[in-house]
Amino acid sequence: MKKSDFLVIVIVILVLLPFFLSNAVYDTFCTLTRNYPLWMAFLKFGILATFGEMLGQRVKTGHYYHKGFGLFPKFVVWGFLGMWIALAMSVFKVGIPAFMEKAACFKGVSAAMMGEFSWLKLVGAFFVSVMMNTSFAPVFMTFHKICDMHIASYEGRAVSLIHPIQMRKLIQEVNWDVQWNFVFKKTIPLFWIPAHTLTFCLPGDFQVLFAAFCSIILGLFLSIAAMRK
């Protein structure tokens, strides 16, 4: 392990420790999550998903950061993507159970999704996860990849945030072999569907937070995908 690894571990411990030692910190976090769900989603994903990409860089290059990484642009992009994810989660976790009750005779699944853990809630969470990851997730993953390539084309500079994305050019440059055969075909069924099933079984205050923690794993997946080129 390098000195930078110990420094990262210490920082992570210092950030998480107050939540375990102080009920006031925990209660404040829950209150802010309920009152400002989108802005809290911005912060959660901006911080955790960017950290995940830094971990991916550590795996791929041996360093957490390098010139051109684009720390601030990635934070901003992940923040807004986090708001998008939070909205999508809210829509899917209400809409899919409602459809299940009408079309598939899963009576009570909508109420179960709002209550404590039960087998009916697990079934509902699984169907919500499947639908979200087979419809929303591929579009989200592809758009994030294009945003990442856009930031890289400006060598990580903040100016990339105010320049329009050359969508037509970048979408042709995506490595669709890796995107389809690894990101879609493997990570979605083997990781994201089970992970988001667990996510939707959690209390509402922690669902977006846990999804943001899962984005740390996404950073590692992106690095693996990049190495597979």
Reported as a single tens digit per residue, the pLDDT across 94-122 is 999 999 988 877 888 999 998 888 899 99
Task: State residue 192's pLDDT score.
Answer: 92
Task: State residue 96's pLDDT score.
Answer: 94
101 and 171 Cβ atoms separated by less than 8 Å: no
Task: State residue 226's pLDDT score.
Answer: 64
* pLDDT < 50: residue spans in the chain: none
Task: State residue 99's pLDDT score.
Answer: 92
- The residue written with tokens 């977006």 in the block is 208
Q: Can you give the pTM of this predicted structure?
A: 0.86
What tokens does 163 get?
A: 């320049």
What are 138-175's pLDDT values in tens digits? 999 999 999 999 999 999 999 999 999 999 999 999 99
Task: State residue 27's pLDDT score.
Answer: 87
Transcribe 86-139 into DSSP letters.
Answer: HHHHHHHHHHHHHHHHHHS--TTHHHHHHSS--HHHHHHHHHHHHHIIIIIHHH
Task: State residue 92's pLDDT score.
Answer: 95
